[in-house]
Structure 1
Amino acid sequence: MSASAPPAGRGPTILVVDDTPESLRFLTATLESAGMTVLIAIDGLAALDLLDHITPDLILMDGVMPGLDGFETTRRIKADGRFRHLPVIFMTGLTETEHVVQGLDAGGVDYVHKPIVVDELLARVSVHLANARIAQGSQLALDTAGRPSFALDDDGAIEWLTPLASAVIERNFAGWKPRDGSLPDALATIVSRLRGVDVPPGAQATLEIGGCAIECTMLRRTSARQWLFRLAERREGDAERLLAERHGLTSREAQVLVWISRGKQNREISEILEISPRTVNKHLEQIFEKMGVENRASATAIAVGTLSQ
């Protein structure tokens, strides 16, 4: 089951995970008085179950709870690609440095101590809500621009993926879900090659799956040690249709241009398309005229640019 967004038209939705009734009452009253909607889970398993139904804007997580504690609960939440962006603020009476580090290592973005100071808590919640909106907005912008994208950490685990990227992967890899936390094996293999030390930004690798080609482009490695990638889904005939539509070519001319853009020579194209080399030359003359170019190199550059958009 996929998690849904919080109801529109309300303030931010906060999930509070705490096993202490007094803390739950205090936090609920505090957050609701600040215009927020509060969801409650009394243990880690209840929190995970709730996340299958709705995605809050932020989680306040008690670190120490019986059964599944807040640290392990957070690790499981962050292992699910749907919730990589979800800020988790730990709250606990523990003050030892090792527990602060444990909370941050589990995926928390901040840490507040009990007894909680209301103004401090609300200020921290406000800051992390704003940061999360910026991060999520950036991912949505990538999708809006038609750029299914995702990020991996140095170990190959998914840091985040945009909804379009998730849809491309789910469509082509049966049984894969964002909550898996890692890419399907076949896709992970080509992505691993793109994370090599000598691989430049813009490098591409393609995975053939039936009649579809999944093209992955390595964008860059960020200062936050994230590897950013873009996906493109190419189905048989897509390239020809795009070139024909964009440049006013016939279907056969578009086929010739596709193979030219892939570095094939006239003799090879004639064999692939089962036409004579002379016919290939005639198609090239028409392609040059329609595209307003003088030579093969110019036509190739334009075709590659068109297909990369």
Structure 2
Amino acid sequence: MTALVATSGEAALELLEHATPDLILMDAVMPGLDGFATTRRIKEDPALAHVPVIFMTGLIGPEHAVEALRSGGVDYIRKPIIIDELLARIGVHLTNARQSYRSRLALDVAGGTLVALDRAGRLLWCTPQADTILSRIDAGWSKDSRHLPAALQDAAKSLLAEDTRPGHSVRETLDDTEIELSALRSERPGEMLIRIAEIREGADVALLQKHTGLTQREAEVLLWVSYGKSNRTISEILGISPRTVNKHLQQIFTKLGVETRAAATALAVRVIAQ
């Protein structure tokens, strides 16, 4: 292991501008910015939010452990430190963090256009594909702003309502395209995953036909599958029965040489993104 040392919260934040560690050991009591405030600042930065923070401090009160976890820490170890226990905890949290990071990478590679927002609407992270769409919506937008483009903020707020269930979606019409935001389930408290889709039905159907050899109806079905719609919803959109949708899907799988809905979606996303 290589250790980088900072003796204050301000020094830690400055150090993190130049290097991203695999894990952070955080004291609670430091001169200037304390460990709780420093951790909150770290977790507000999308580039650092994935880094696990373990508090390692002499404060023994349960209220301090609660504050540490609420600020974004993953663990709270009281001094005196037992080295073997510390190393074991580091190993567990590094494994969890890397599994989570690999999941994010898998979403990126598969073409997932996902963003994660906290309950106040602040941007926690987004996949590269979502970044591309958001930059097209607002040329001056940057994920460093920690918010969605202004044109999508009202739609996002409606999805952040307490009673919103996974699958609920809203649309915003912007110039020559529609943007659909769909709520997804997240396993992290206080976080909502949102899928962003550009609805350019006519142009995208034509692209799918050109590059896959599908009929127009098959391309329409594949397009809505790539938007994450169920067979029943697709049947309502296209005015056909769910059974007919399923028959088209079987033909699509055969023509594309794939076996699953996910594989067909990944192929469609790659074609549309060209």
TM-score (norm 1): 0.63
Separation in 2, partners of 1:133, 1:174: 32
Amino acid at match of 1:124: R
Determine which of 211, 235, 247 is the counterpart of 1:245.
211
1:147–1:111 distance in 2 versus 1, CA, 3 Å = same
Q: Give the match's secondary structure for 2:96.
A: helix
Q: Is the 8 A contact 2:160 2:192 kept in 1?
A: yes
Q: Aligned runs of 1:67-82 on 2, under 5 Å?
A: 67-82=32-47
Higher CA-based Rg: 1
| Deviation of 1:112 (Å) | 1.6
TM-score (norm 2): 0.70
| Deviation of 1:118 (Å) | 1.2
Amino acid at match of 2:2: T
Q: Is the 8 A contact 2:56 2:79 kept in 1?
A: yes
Amino acid at match of 2:75: D
Q: Is the 8 A contact 2:9 2:38 kept in 1?
A: yes
Aligned-pair identity (%): 46
Determine which of 127, 138, 142 is the counterpart of 2:92.
127
Q: Aligned runs of 1:195-234 on 2, under 5 Å?
A: 195-196=160-161, 199-211=164-176, 213-220=178-185, 222=187, 224-233=189-198
Which residue does 1:60 correspond to in 2? 25
Q: Give the match's secondary structure for 1:82.
A: coil
Q: Is the 8 A contact 2:121 2:160 kept in 1?
A: no
Which residue does 2:230 correspond to in 1? none
Separation in 2, partners of 1:233, 1:82: 25
Q: Is the 8 A contact 1:104 1:110 kept in 2?
A: yes
Separation in 2, partners of 1:192, 1:186: 12
Q: Report whether the alignment pairs 1:97 with 2:62.
A: yes
1:171–1:110 distance in 2 versus 1, CA, 3 Å = farther
Q: Report whether the alignment pairs 1:85 with 2:28.
A: no
- The aligned length equals 234
Q: Report whether the alignment pairs 1:46 with 2:17.
A: no
Separation in 2, partners of 1:89, 1:66: 19
Separation in 1, partners of 2:82, 2:180: 50
Q: Is the 8 A contact 1:79 1:179 kept in 2?
A: no
